[in-house]
Amino acid sequence: MSRETTLVEPTIARSVEAARTAVGAAREAGQRIGLVPTMGALHEGHLSLIDHARHSCDFVVVTIFVNPTQFGPRDDFSQYPRTWEADLEFIRERRSQLVFAPSAEEMYSACHSTVVCPPKVAETLEGEFRPGHFTGVTTVVLKLMQIVAADVAFFGEKDFQQCLVIRDMVRDLNVPIEVNCCPTIREPDGLAMSSRNRYLSPDDRQQALSLNRGLELAKSMVARGEREVSAIEAAVRACIEASGAGSIDYVAIRDSDQLGFMDVLDRPAVLLLAVHVGSARLIDNTRLDV
């Protein structure tokens, strides 16, 4: 779909009631509704999700909410970038009809106590290194799905495990919504687009490129016939360590459906990385289908 440059002023809803009213009017008009949940600080990765939503939906809702419940005590909630004016300009260009941008108080009342227990696929990797993170994610995403009541929700595959978590939550709880996971968008140098990339110094960025080099190394090893998971993981870890990047949380090859452990590549797999570079924690992944 070609990008349209005409600016469209979206409706901005700050309350649950206002969002429901706008979506309800679109529903009554027979429009197909798309939901793009974000925490703001939008980049081309987010904008590609909006493009996917506009391609298949009539009415697109972008949410901007930095969700406090998915940040742990060592995470960067207070420093997470808030770029409202720039975000709104991007959304105007992409011609989304509604922006839902609630406050924390609107989303979580003083007596709020209900949370969503994440599915089994959330237990490993990010679930190990960021305890409680996926509880916050599933809770806020389910709330957004209840408020917006869209036909389709769009997420990015850069957060591969999150996509599986949302997919399984929607399936297990019979939420009437389609989950569409869209391809990772990369910078010209190969770095996966992320709101946290702005934390990287020039030296940090050079080290961060080792993540993509590691992914490409793994794919080349598989193409040459390597099937031993431990050998591929070790080579990727060595590639990242050689760059001088900070600590590695994980370099893990898992099956791409439930993130189960594998000894050999005998079914569709995904390589997932989490690495500290400077003050940023970066994640990335690639599929390893044999």
Which CATH number does the domain housing residue 178 bear?
A: 3.40.50.620
Q: Based on the domain organization, do 160 and 38 belong to the same domain?
A: yes
**Are 290 and 224 a contacting pair, CB within 8 Å?**
no
> For residue 75, what pLDDT band results from cuts at 50, 70 and 90?
confident
Q: What is the pTM of this model?
A: 0.95
Residue 273: give the domain boundaries: 195-288
Q: Based on the domain organization, do 17 and 124 belong to the same domain?
A: yes
Q: Based on the domain organization, do 175 and 143 belong to the same domain?
A: yes
How far from 186 is each of 44, 156, 189, CA to CA, in Å?
A: 9, 12, 8
**Model pLDDT, residue 2:** 43
User: Which CATH number does the domain housing residue 252 bear?
Assistant: 3.30.1300.10
Q: Based on the domain organization, do 142 and 52 belong to the same domain?
A: yes
| Total of domains in the chain | 2
Q: Which two tokens stand for residue 95?
A: 């011609």
> For residue 8, what pLDDT band results from cuts at 50, 70 and 90?
confident
Q: Could you tell me if residue 252 is inside a domain?
A: yes
**Positions marked catalytic:** 46
Cβ neighbors of 256 (< 8 A, separation 6 or more) are 268, 269, 270, 287, 289
Q: Based on the domain organization, do 142 and 202 belong to the same domain?
A: no
**Model pLDDT, residue 1:** 41
pLDDT at 167 over 90: yes
Domain C-terminal end among 182, 212, 247: 182
Q: Could you tell me if residue 4 is inside a domain?
A: no
Q: Based on the domain organization, do 117 and 207 belong to the same domain?
A: no
**Model pLDDT, residue 49:** 98
**Model pLDDT, residue 3:** 46
Q: Based on the domain organization, do 177 and 204 belong to the same domain?
A: no
> For residue 80, what pLDDT band results from cuts at 50, 70 and 90?
confident
Lowest mean pLDDT among 4-13, 31-40, 145-154: 4-13
Q: Based on the domain organization, do 164 and 226 belong to the same domain?
A: no
pLDDT at 5 over 80: no
